[in-house]
Amino acid sequence: MKNATVLRCAILGFTLFFLFSSAALGARIKDIVTVGGVRDNQLVGYGLVVGLSGTGDSMRTGFTEQTLSNLLSRQGLSMKDAKLDADNVASVMVTAHLPPFAKIGTRLDVTVSSMGDADSLEGGTLVMTPLRGADGKVYALAQGPLVIGGFSAAGAGSKITQNHVTVGTIPNGALVERELQYDFSDVRHITLNLNSPDFTTCRRLAETLKGWIADIDVGIVDSGTVIVTPADSFKGDMVTLVSEIEHLSVPMDTVARVVINERTGTVVIGEDVRISTVAVAHGNLSITIRERKHVSQPLPFSPAPPRGGEPVQREEGDIVLAPGAQTVVTTEADIAVTEEQRQLVVVPEGVTIQEVAAALNALGVTPRDLITIMKAIKASGALQAELIVM
């Protein structure tokens, strides 16, 4: 009886270890889903950056002068109909993200971007700028010195610039003034939205929730949405339920894709990409054109052309005579065409991504050649994957 008990414990321990190991191989639910209704919000505002060293907007932009006049008027200075000419001020747009559950006094990072013709925002300070949401209400106030991360310098006829100097950031440069209301106490169900909708992953997510969390009802709405309805034991404590859900892991399933970027020569092949058996021959075609200049000099003691313009030719029978000799420059072009000869290579059907990569590497092609080959294989119908060209 004792040995049987030990055996059952060992089997149970092995089973739990296998389950935990399998769950660990997947992705955490908190990394692949978002909770419905809990998201960031975009904030935007218009303001002025002051303190620039002669690199601000020219007042011919119009809106900078008007904004500066309004700012000074709010400070008690009457600037109506006054002509302002300052090159140390720049009009900017200020953007930020308001995270969920941000409380009054929470600090946010902001991005400041030039709107006018300012040369640089280096050394500038953002004047207090209200940041508004999509509903037009003010949710935060931004102010502070800018961090550019680059520089721009100009001299007599020369200029040097490092990084982008008309966009800067202000770390912790905004203070939250209005909160977004999230009340989990009255929530009756939780909606989980997959970041990358997939029917297989959605089904696995529902099965994982049913297998690991008790007293819940799980329903699948579509390929990207799962609704979790808790029992009475979780009523009023939805935060605990969300925490338990987030720490579980789900095996991911993705669509087979090949992503190529012709601008950079980048090729990314997904894990599930398969290629049917095809024969591939790829040769590079090079065309070289060289131009050479030749100068034709007249013989010694040749008569010079008449003054006042080009010599006028006259015909005597079939012979064309010119009244004078002159130096002529001619161009000769050499065109060479070179085609790289390669044998026809059979690419066998790939079972794994390693075998597919090995078969393609056997052709000895560059990444840009690989882009052309992948397009041709897709056109032949031998590529069992989605081809995305960026």
Confidence of residue 218 (pLDDT cuts 50, 70, 90): very high
Q: Angle at CA 210, nearest 5°, toward 206 and 214?
A: 145
Confidence of residue 13 (pLDDT cuts 50, 70, 90): very low
pLDDT at 45 over 60: yes
DSSP H stretches of helix in 103-225: 199-212
Query: What does the pLDDT read at residue 21?
Result: 42
For residue 249 the two structure tokens come to 């892991």
Interval 146-165 mean pLDDT: 74
Mean pLDDT (the chain, rounded): 78
Interval 196-209 mean pLDDT: 92
Together in a domain, 158 and 213: no
pLDDT at 328 over 60: yes
Q: Residue 280 half-sphere exposure, CB side, CA atoms within 13 Å? A: 28
Only one residue has tokens 């500038």, namely: 124
Together in a domain, 385 and 267: yes
Q: Which residues pair with 222 in a beta bridge?
A: 225
Query: What does the pLDDT read at residue 65?
Result: 76
Domain assignment present for 33: no
* Winning range, highest mean pLDDT, from 74-78, 115-119, 361-365: 115-119
pLDDT in tens, 158-174: 667 777 888 999 999 99
Together in a domain, 55 and 112: yes
Query: What does the pLDDT read at residue 337?
Result: 55
Together in a domain, 136 and 190: no
DSSP H stretches of helix in 171-237: 199-212
Given 176, 210, 237, which residue is the final one in a domain?
176
Amino acid at 39: R
Given 250, 274, 299, which residue is the final one in a domain?
250
For residue 3 the two structure tokens come to 């040995």
Give burial (CB, 10 Å; 0-12/13-18/19+) of 71: middle
Given 176, 206, 238, which residue is the final one in a domain?
176
Tell me how far CA of residue 353 lies from CA of 235, 345, 359, 376, in angstroms: 47, 19, 10, 19
Interval 260-279 mean pLDDT: 82
Only one residue has tokens 């709405």, namely: 221
| Structure-model confidence comparison of residues 260 and 11, the more confident one | 260
For residue 122 the two structure tokens come to 């280096």
Domain assignment present for 191: yes
Are residues 127 and 94 in contact, defined by beta-carbon separation less than 8 angstroms? no
Together in a domain, 194 and 281: no
Domain assignment present for 14: no
Predicted TM-score (pTM) of the model is: 0.65
Together in a domain, 84 and 139: yes
Domain assignment present for 326: no
Together in a domain, 87 and 158: yes
Confidence of residue 59 (pLDDT cuts 50, 70, 90): confident
Give burial (CB, 10 Å; 0-12/13-18/19+) of 215: exposed
| Structure-model confidence comparison of residues 323 and 238, the more confident one | 238
For residue 344 the two structure tokens come to 């026809």
Together in a domain, 126 and 196: no
Are residues 219 and 226 in contact, defined by beta-carbon separation less than 8 angstroms? yes
Together in a domain, 160 and 92: yes
The number of distinct structural domains making up the chain is 3
Together in a domain, 141 and 197: no
Share of the chain above pLDDT 90, in %: 26
Residue whose C-alpha is closest to residue 57's, from 112, 114, 111: 114
Together in a domain, 145 and 189: no
Domain assignment present for 127: yes
Q: Tell me which residue range forms the domain holding 153.
A: 41-176
* Winning range, highest mean pLDDT, from 5-14, 98-107, 157-166, 349-358: 98-107
Share of the chain above pLDDT 70, in %: 72
pLDDT at 269 over 60: yes
Amino acid at 196: S
pLDDT at 311 over 60: no
Together in a domain, 122 and 246: no
Interval 131-155 mean pLDDT: 87
For the ranges 39-43, 92-96, 295-299, the lowest mean pLDDT is seen at 295-299
pLDDT at 81 over 80: no
Domain assignment present for 45: yes
Domain assignment present for 187: yes
How far apart are the C-alpha atoms of 3 and 6, rounded to whole Å? Answer: 5
Only one residue has tokens 């579980």, namely: 248
Domain assignment present for 16: no
